[in-house]
Amino acid sequence: MLVGVDASRVTRAQRTGTENYSLHVLRELLAHDQRNAYRLYLSQPLPDGLLPLGPRMTTKLIRLPRLWTQLGLSTEMVISPPDVLFVPSHVLPLVTPWRSVVVVYDVGHRFFPRAHGVLEWLYVEWAIRRHVRIATRLLTISESSKRDLVRLYAADPSRIDVAYPAVDQRFKPAASTDIARVRARYGLHESYVLHLGTIKPRKNLPRLIRAFAGARLPRDTQLVLGGMATSGASRVERAIVDAGLDQRVRRLAYVPDQDLAALYSGAGCVAIVSLYEGFGMPALEALACGAPLVASDRGSLPEIVGDAGVLIDPLDVRSIARGLERAFDDPSLRALGPCRAAGFDWPSAARVTQRALMKAFRPDAGTLPRSPTRSAAS
């Protein structure tokens, strides 16, 4: 079987979460799948060492500054279609081969539409509806996201496989010297509650701020908010002022990768109280670093955290405050986290992906037969 892969986004210098997911899964597939051949469609040359090269992998460079997917990749699907097209971090091209597998990470735009511009929202909604309609199989990153696809888009659950992400090996309990260095670098107290993630409405930060203000925590505990600000930042700042916490809140707009493990490890607890997460990578990173975790009981977070953290009701400020207090008081959580995080690994995600590709290729994949190419209008 020849698997074509839209690998245009894994070559970016600054990769987002979806692009990192794609890169890790693709690395595992190319390193360990001895049954299938892979053709990678690229928008720029492949950097040396980014992916394991081998005799079963070829590349096709499509140089097109605009409409790369819908024009460039579509043209390749007409000229020389693969047996299965795998799209791990974007959308299916307008012309799609007979068999295709696409990753739908979450449907957060349905829960928080105001976080998107109108055109962006319409494009995401169109893409997901089209994926559900024409892709041979769908992959997603949590059972929660799978349920959302079934409930909101009437997707056939038998066509959806869950391939959980994992964390990089650098996320592990840090040495005390590294923790002290990072605390000094960022001006942190010995005791702090940490939240990492883009500041946006679904992160529920105003309630976290009010809960922090009312929680019984060690004296001089800071609230550390790390992440770039988008919509909702003004509400967060108002909540800080209203709670009288301006002197106890430390804002970190950007934290380089090499400091993250120590930042997590040194926290009294990490708080991820989102109203919705398709997965919640900071929660898994915190667990891997042995940080006590307080997490929302909504979306995918309960299936990620299990019994290794404290689950709270994100709409109840008092529930969040009690969760913070419990996390500080329960030393066993530091030992539970790394064990829980070890259950999520990239080889497992790649195996699920490989099975999905094989299911898509088999005649009994459970989909209606289609012509070799299919446009958006069909």
- Same domain assignment for residues 205 and 263: yes
Mean pLDDT over each residue of the chain, to the nearest integer:
92
Say if residues 125 and 132 touch (Cβ distance below 8 Å): no
Confidence of residue 232 (pLDDT cuts 50, 70, 90): low
Torsion of CA 201, 202, 203, 207, to 10 degrees: 70
Q: Tell me whether residue 378 is in a domain.
A: no
Q: Tell me whether residue 135 is in a domain.
A: yes
Confidence (pLDDT) at 363: 52
Q: Tell me whether residue 319 is in a domain.
A: yes
Residue range 206-221, pLDDT digits in tens: 999 999 999 999 999 9
- Same domain assignment for residues 14 and 144: yes
- Same domain assignment for residues 134 and 195: no
CA distances from 13 to 5, 9, 86, 174, 254 (A): 19, 9, 22, 27, 17
DSSP per-residue string spanning 105-136: ---HHHH-GGGS-HHHHHHHHHHHHHHHHH-S
Residue range 157-180, pLDDT digits in tens: 999 999 999 999 999 999 999 999
Confidence (pLDDT) at 196: 93
- Same domain assignment for residues 87 and 202: no
User: Which has the closest alpha carbon to 370: 33, 92, 55, 24?
Assistant: 92
What share of the chain has pLDDT > 90, as a percent?
84
Residue range 179-197, pLDDT digits in tens: 999 999 999 999 999 999 8
What is the domain extent for residue 205?
A: 176-341
User: Which has the closest alpha carbon to 292: 201, 191, 203?
Assistant: 191
- Same domain assignment for residues 107 and 78: yes
Residue range 269-328, pLDDT digits in tens: 999 999 999 999 999 999 999 999 999 999 999 999 999 999 999 999 999 999 999 999
**How far apart are alpha carbons 310 and 327 in whole angstroms?**
7
Say if residues 7 and 26 touch (Cβ distance below 8 Å): yes
Q: Mean pLDDT over residues 145-167, rounded?
A: 97
Q: Tell me whether residue 377 is in a domain.
A: no
- Same domain assignment for residues 162 and 199: no
Q: Tell me whether residue 54 is in a domain.
A: yes
Q: Mean pLDDT over residues 127-154, rounded?
A: 97
Q: Tell me whether residue 337 is in a domain.
A: yes
- Same domain assignment for residues 205 and 228: yes
Query: How many Å is the Cα radius of gyration of the chain?
Result: 22
- Same domain assignment for residues 130 and 182: no
What share of the chain has pLDDT > 70, as a percent?
95
Confidence (pLDDT) at 53: 86
Q: Tell me whether residue 133 is in a domain.
A: yes
Residue range 53-104, pLDDT digits in tens: 889 999 999 999 889 999 999 999 999 999 999 999 989 999 999 999 999 9
State yes or no: pLDDT of 368 exceeds 60: no
Confidence of residue 366 (pLDDT cuts 50, 70, 90): very low
Confidence (pLDDT) at 158: 96
- Same domain assignment for residues 248 and 154: no
pTM for the model = 0.89
- Same domain assignment for residues 41 and 63: yes
Confidence of residue 231 (pLDDT cuts 50, 70, 90): low
Confidence (pLDDT) at 354: 97
Counting the structural domains of the chain, the total is 2
Confidence (pLDDT) at 115: 81
CATH code where residue 60 lies: 3.40.50.2000
Measured in Å, how far apart are the chain's first and last C-alpha atoms? Answer: 26
State the angle between helix axes of 205-214 and 317-329 in degrees (0 to 180), rounded to the nearest 10: 60
- Same domain assignment for residues 181 and 302: yes
Q: Tell me whether residue 376 is in a domain.
A: no
- Same domain assignment for residues 183 and 95: no
Confidence of residue 369 (pLDDT cuts 50, 70, 90): very low
